[in-house]
Amino acid sequence: MELSSKLEYALLALIELASNTTKKVPLTLSEITTKQPIPERYLEQVFTSLRRGGLVQSHRGSKGGYVLSREPWEITVLEVVISLEGEQKEKKRSDYCTLEKEAIYKVWQQANSASEKILSRYTLQDLCQMRDERKHNNPMYYI
């Protein structure tokens, strides 16, 4: 499994929404892109998938924008992956399957299973906490 730019942008944007949940105010895409280096037009496409996946809700109007559909600790990284890239489907095996191919498929299945277990352990809240810990451990020095 690879971290695509689409997934990276989605997670960055969702961290911004998760950081904003205490304010209960929707964030616009332009507000998100001022805080994160994400092209706004690309983020529109990403949020369409996130909305369809039930992870964010959109609010229309002058005070509109996006909010998380659930609390940050209830949304796993795996859910984000699935809403953007779909379920990992097992590759269809050819009719002619060798012992070598069987070994490769077995290892690949184990790797996918392990990555899904890890991604399901982490939530948006965990990502926010990791970010905050890094902020506190890396103080800025000004001269």
For position 92, what pLDDT does the model report? 61
> Could you tell me the pLDDT band of residue 95, with boundaries at 50, 70 and 90?
low
Share of the chain above pLDDT 70, in %: 88
- Of 79, 88, 64, 83, nearest in space to 127 by CA: 79
Structure tokens at 46: 């990403």
pLDDT value at residue 141: 63
Give the model's pLDDT for residue 126.
Answer: 97
Reply yes or no on whether the pLDDT at 139 is more than 90. no
How far apart, in Å, are the Cα atoms of 27 and each of 5, 9, 16, 74, 141?
21, 15, 9, 19, 30
Could you report how far apart the first and last alpha carbons of the chain are, in Å? 42
Q: What is the Cα–Cα distance from 44 to 6, expressed in whole angstroms?
A: 11
Model confidence pLDDT, tens digit, residues 6-31: 999 999 999 999 999 877 789 999 99
Average pLDDT for 31-43:
94
pLDDT score at 91? 58
SS3 for 52-107 is HCCCEEEECCCCCEEEECCCHHHCEHHHHHHHHHCCCCCCCCCCCCCHHHHHHHHH
Residue 1 has pLDDT above 70, yes or no: no
Q: Can you give the C-alpha Rg of the chain in angstroms?
A: 19
* Per-residue pLDDT at 125: 96
Cα distance between residue 32 and residue 40, in whole Å: 9
Q: What pLDDT is recorded for position 96?
A: 67
pLDDT digits (tens, 9 = 90+) for 56-89: 999 998 888 999 999 999 999 999 999 998 866 5
The pLDDT of residue 123: 97
Q: What is the pLDDT of residue 85?
A: 86
Q: What average pLDDT score do residues 106-110 get?
A: 91
